[in-house]
Amino acid sequence: MDKLVIEGGKPLSGSIVIQGAKNAALPILAACLLAEGTSTIEHVPRLLDIDVMLNILRELGCRAEHVGDTVILNTETAHTSHVPESLMGQMRSSIFLMGPLLARFGETQVYQPGGCAIGERKIDLHLEGLQALGAEIEEIGNRIICRADKLYGAEIHLAFPSVGATENIMMAAVLAEGRTTISNAAREPEIQDLQRFLNEMGAKIMGAGTDTITIEGVQSLTPCTYRVIPDRIVAGTIMVAAAATRGQVTLLNTNPAHLSSLIHVLRRAGVQIAVDGDIIKVGCPGRPRAVERVVTAPYPAFPTDLQSQVMVLLALADGVSILKETIFEGRLKHVDELSRMGADIRVDLNSAFIRGVPRLYGATVEATDLRAGAALVIAGLAAQGKTIVEQIHHIDRGYDCIETMLGRLGARISRYSPVPKN
């Protein structure tokens, strides 16, 4: 398995263009199934998760090409709505194929995506939403069979503003008969991007970005060309890395409004942030300050996907910080690895009590999930000495060649691919 080898202690400097958003591109690619024909989706990053989604769409009969950062997807030849278990298992978020497949084919078969390193990852809200639209759902073992001769608009309230459930219901409802309202909907920018894409195809959706989304069902949708928003989590990761290494970095192609909660926390830590249009400049000449309390919560609050990265900055800060994770019950596994690098962090239930230390020390550490892996890379960049990060396939799911991205900012980082034994 590939590893990253990092020689720490060098401040990041320079400028970087941020890639398209993985978590916007994935539902938009799934939504292409709702219209027969060829859609062109621009600004799609080259990631393992995107490859998995394109392979699933090919398995369903679509023709998909990823040229540069543009995906050309022809869904006309899609001929089945059964997602193979082997492919479902490669990416949990393939569960939001249910909505478009049900809307297009009237039935679909998927598999329980199961939990992962960060938590149980239930899908009850997805299934309840589809049932509210008229779907009959049968679970046989880990197989989920979903049928609906016709889908009808409904009033749906989400017990929790689940991102995936909101997306699944939106995609199922666009071709339903009548009006659907989703209350307590997720408000993430990726939901807003999905609404823009679906409306570009001829849907009639309003309210994405608020907690109530209204969908007027239409007869059919038309393929289109669409450009995905920038990835706010990749941008946030780079911002934290710049601060943790006491560097000076300019980020281009960002949407600062999507990062306001992170910018607020970084400024409280004494990081200098300047915003000008789609440009964010980050500088941290001295040691960051502790931040008394950071709590993850649904957008627009502080995002769970930046929790592990910010923990590294707070682990180096002057003072004691408390970081509370409220979205995923298993998303503090990176604490053990950071402690091996000299961090002073105590976990109690879903809160981390972080006593900042002057420096971290290089070590061999293991990525347990996508964002924890990114956090360990940041720790390695800031640490004194050499760090080896293992299991970096997790990182490749969400970052397009992270070593190249950081190398352009002056990081001493390289990928080590062991020669396969013959």
For 223-235, b/e burial (b = at least 16 CB within 10 A) is: bbebbbbbbbbbb
Close Cβ partners of 46 (under 8 Å, ≥ 6 residues apart) = 66, 69, 400, 401
Binding mask 169-208 for ligand EPZ (x = CB under 6 A): -----------------x----------------------
Rounded to the nearest 10 degrees, what angle do helices 22-31 and 232-244 cross at?
A: 170
Rounded to the nearest 10 degrees, what angle do helices 260-268 and 307-315 cross at?
A: 10
- Of 3, 43, 104, 126, the one binding ligand EPZ by CB under 6 A: 126
State how beta strands 136-140 and 143-147 pair: antiparallel
Residues 371-390 that bind ligand EPZ (CB under 6 A): 371
Residues 309-328 that bind ligand EPZ (CB under 6 A): 327-328
- Per CB under 6 A, the segment of 103-111, 121-129, 358-366, 409-417 that binds ligand EPZ is 121-129
Selection from 299, 397, 302, 378 nearest residue 338 by Cα: 378
Work out whether 304 is an interface residue with ligand EPZ (CB under 6 A): yes
- Of 122, 264, 287, 355, the one binding ligand EPZ by CB under 6 A: 122
Least distance (Å) between residue 309 CB and ligand EPZ: 11
- Of 9, 119, 202, 209, the one binding ligand EPZ by CB under 6 A: 119
Q: Is 259 or 290 the residue whose CB approaches ligand EPZ more closely?
A: 259
- Of 34, 41, 123, 335, the one binding ligand EPZ by CB under 6 A: 123
CA distance 6 to 352: 26
- Of 398, 400, 402, 409, the one binding ligand EPZ by CB under 6 A: 398
Structure tokens of 24? 């916007």
Q: Is 197 or 328 the residue whose CB approaches ligand EPZ more closely?
A: 328
Work out whether 232 is an interface residue with ligand EPZ (CB under 6 A): no
CA distance 388 to 393: 14
Least distance (Å) between residue 20 CB and ligand EPZ: 13
CA 143 to chain centre: 25
- Of 162, 192, 254, 321, the one binding ligand EPZ by CB under 6 A: 162
Rounded to the nearest 10 degrees, what angle do helices 370-382 and 307-315 cross at?
A: 20
- Per CB under 6 A, the segment of 32-40, 57-65, 124-132, 270-278 that binds ligand EPZ is 124-132
Q: Output the residue with the shortest Cβ distance to ligand EPZ.
A: 164
Binding mask 338-377 for ligand EPZ (x = CB under 6 A): --------------------------------xx------
Selection from 295, 341, 320, 313 nearest residue 12 by Cα: 313
Q: Which of 32, 62, 116, 284 is catalytic?
A: 116
Q: Give residue for tokens 């970005």.
A: 209
Q: Give residue for tokens 């769409």.
A: 57
Work out whether 132 is an interface residue with ligand EPZ (CB under 6 A): no
Q: Name the binding residues.
A: 22-23, 92, 305, 327
- Of 65, 76, 85, 124, the one binding ligand EPZ by CB under 6 A: 124
Q: Are 110 and 95 in contact (CB under 8 A)?
A: yes
CA 187 to chain centre: 14
Least distance (Å) between residue 66 CB and ligand EPZ: 18
Q: Are 71 and 46 in contact (CB under 8 A)?
A: no
Q: Is 119 helix (H, G, I), strand (E, B) or coil?
A: strand
Q: Name the binding residues for phosphoenolpyruvate.
A: 22-23
- What is the dihedral sign for C-alpha 102, 104, 106, 110? negative
How many residues in the shown chain lie near ligand EPZ by CB under 6 A?
24
Q: Is 401 an active-site residue? A: no
Structure tokens of 379? 């720790």
395, 303, 265, 332 alpha-carbon torsion, rounded to 10°:
-60
- Of 65, 76, 120, 278, the one binding ligand EPZ by CB under 6 A: 120
Residues 21-60 that bind ligand EPZ (CB under 6 A): 23, 26
Selection from 57, 86, 88 nearest residue 74 by Cα: 57
CA distance 272 to 100: 44
- Per CB under 6 A, the segment of 5-13, 162-170, 175-183, 216-224 that binds ligand EPZ is 162-170
Residues 72-111 that bind ligand EPZ (CB under 6 A): 93
- Of 31, 98, 165, 201, the one binding ligand EPZ by CB under 6 A: 165
Q: Is 181 or 350 the residue whose CB approaches ligand EPZ more closely?
A: 350
Helix residue ranges, H only, 44-162: 48-59, 85-88, 98-105, 124-132
Q: Which residues here bind ligand EPZ, judged by CB under 6 A? A: 23, 26, 93, 119-126, 160, 162-165, 186, 304-305, 327-328, 370-371, 398
Residues with catalytic roles:
116
